[in-house]
């Protein structure tokens, strides 16, 4: 892709600089110069080290762990380029934190996903580019354009290359009822059947398997979800599926958050291989043999190119 290097600038905060570099490289650009550090009391300091006046600015920053630091880095960087007279400010948020708090589940709950949307807009962002929001309706929390990209084609292509399209030994499994729609799309992209795990969650980050709907006996199963956090749901589902007659269990997701005891659970589980995308960076302790990673850089680079050139982003979904 050939973009005018003077009219577009890609900045990276500290959330996922490796992904930001890959995106810039796909666009034939280098990352623009900025320094993001902390004062001794923990306050975040941002310094933009080149002119941005009138430029199309893209700030790459997932709001993953450390969530609050990464969010503040994004907000302050947006404010910095806004005050430096940037032409248009695009927040590239591969992983949108606080997305699970999208409604009042019980009395006096906050709706944190809406609050974060308001903060990003108030800071001065003109557009959001993100991938696989936990709940698609979060797009409506913003009063600015949101380009909602999908990681599923990258995951399905991996398995199509690995096992072949329409392999009758494969079954796609949704680990809970909330993921049925996205798992159905994943199954259709591979031309394989679908099964569903019905679970009960007695308290946050704790799940209990209830029933499994569908036929997967003597089949290779692919568990598909948008994100894996503590890995309780996915490993419980994998173990239950193997106990009920599956031949092998694979798992994949867009956002490998992998917090708490996730790595230990995955290592001990029946999952043969876990495929994640690089929307969230994997720290060295998470790079175990069971975990494979594919990059979303080209998808985001395509979106950035199209937005900058005024072309329809919807063409990306044909991929």
Q: CA-CA distance, 108 to 122, in Å (whole number)?
A: 24
What is the pLDDT, as a whole number, of residue 272? 97
What is the pLDDT, as a whole number, of residue 42? 94
Q: Contact 269/244 with Cβ under 8 angstroms?
A: no
The active-site residue out of 82, 104, 199, 290 is: 199
Q: Taking 60 as the threshold, does the pLDDT of residue 109 lie above it?
A: yes
For every residue of 5-67, DSSP letters joined together read TTTEEEEE-SS-HHHHHHHHHHTT--PPPEEEEE-TTS-EEEEE-S--BT-EEEEE----SSH
**Same-domain check for residues 162 and 133:** no
Task: Read off the tokens for 216.
Answer: 């997967």
What is the pLDDT, as a whole number, of residue 241? 93
| Residue 192 phi, psi dihedral angles, 5° rounding | -130, 160
Residues comprising the chain, all counted: 319
What is the pLDDT, as a whole number, of residue 304? 98
Q: Taking 60 as the threshold, does the pLDDT of residue 207 lie above it?
A: no
Question: What digits encode the pLDDT tens for the residues 279-300?
Answer: 999 999 999 999 999 999 999 9
Q: Taking 60 as the threshold, does the pLDDT of residue 4 lie above it?
A: no
The pTM (predicted TM-score) of the whole model is 0.93
**Same-domain check for residues 25 and 134:** yes
What is the pLDDT, as a whole number, of residue 206? 58
What is the pLDDT, as a whole number, of residue 319? 52
Strand pairing report for 291-294 and 271-277: parallel
**Same-domain check for residues 144 and 16:** yes
What is the pLDDT, as a whole number, of residue 212? 86
- Distance between the two ends of the chain, CA-based, in angstroms? 16
Question: What digits encode the pLDDT tens for the residues 75-86?
Answer: 999 999 999 999
68 lies in some domain: yes
Q: What is the mean pLDDT of residues 225-234?
A: 94
Q: Taking 90 as the threshold, does the pLDDT of residue 191 lie above it?
A: yes
**Same-domain check for residues 12 and 70:** yes
What is the pLDDT, as a whole number, of residue 1? 61
pLDDT interval class at 217 (50, 70, 90): very high
**Same-domain check for residues 278 and 302:** no
**Same-domain check for residues 14 and 139:** yes
Residue 145, domain extent? 8-150+297-318
Total domains present in the chain = 2
86 lies in some domain: yes
Domain of 26: which CATH number?
A: 3.40.50.2020
Indicate if 114 belongs to the active site: no
- In percent, the amount of the chain with pLDDT more than 90 equals 87
Q: CA-CA distance, 196 to 102, in Å (whole number)?
A: 24
What is the pLDDT, as a whole number, of residue 105? 87
Contacts for 146 with CB less than 8 Å, ≥ 6 apart: 127, 128, 129, 130, 139
What is the pLDDT, as a whole number, of residue 277? 98
Q: State the average pLDDT for the chain.
A: 93
């Amino acid at each position: 892709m050939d973009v005018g290097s003077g009219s577009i600038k890609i900045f990276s905060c500290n959330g996922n600089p490796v992904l930001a570099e890959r995106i810039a490289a796909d666009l034939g650009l280098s990352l623009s110069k900025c320094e993001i550090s902390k004062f001794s009391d923990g306050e975040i300091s941002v310094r933009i080290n080149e002119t941005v006046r009138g430029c199309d600015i893209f700030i790459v920053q997932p709001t993953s762990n450390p969530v609050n630091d990464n969010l503040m880095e994004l907000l302050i960087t947006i404010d910095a380029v806004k005050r430096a007279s940037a032409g248009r400010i695009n927040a590239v948020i591969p992983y949108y934190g606080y997305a699970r708090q999208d409604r009042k589940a019980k009395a006096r709950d906050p709706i944190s996903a809406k609050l974060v949307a308001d903060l990003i807009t108030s800071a001065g962002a003109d557009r959001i580019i993100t991938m696989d929001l936990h709940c698609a309706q979060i797009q409506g929390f913003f009063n600015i354009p949101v380009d909602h990209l999908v990681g599923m084609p990258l995951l399905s292509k991996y398995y199509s290359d690995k096992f072949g399209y329409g392999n009758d030994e494969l079954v796609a499994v949704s680990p809970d009822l909330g993921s049925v729609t996205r798992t159905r799309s994943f199954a259709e992209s591979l031309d394989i059947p679908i099964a569903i795990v019905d679970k009960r969650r007695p308290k946050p980050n704790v799940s209990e398997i209830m029933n499994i709907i569908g036929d997967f006996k003597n089949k290779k199963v692919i568990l598909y979800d948008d994100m894996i956090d503590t890995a309780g749901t996915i490993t419980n589902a994998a173990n239950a599926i193997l106990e009920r007659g599956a031949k092998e269990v694979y798992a994949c997701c867009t956002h490998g958050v992998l917090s708490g005891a996730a790595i230990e659970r995955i290592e001990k589980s029946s999952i043969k291989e876990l495929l994640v995308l690089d929307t969230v960076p994997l720290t060295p302790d998470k790079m175990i043999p069971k975990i494979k990673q594919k990059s979303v850089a080209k998808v985001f680079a395509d979106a950035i190119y199209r937005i900058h050139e005024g072309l329809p982003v919807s063409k990306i979904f044909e991929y």
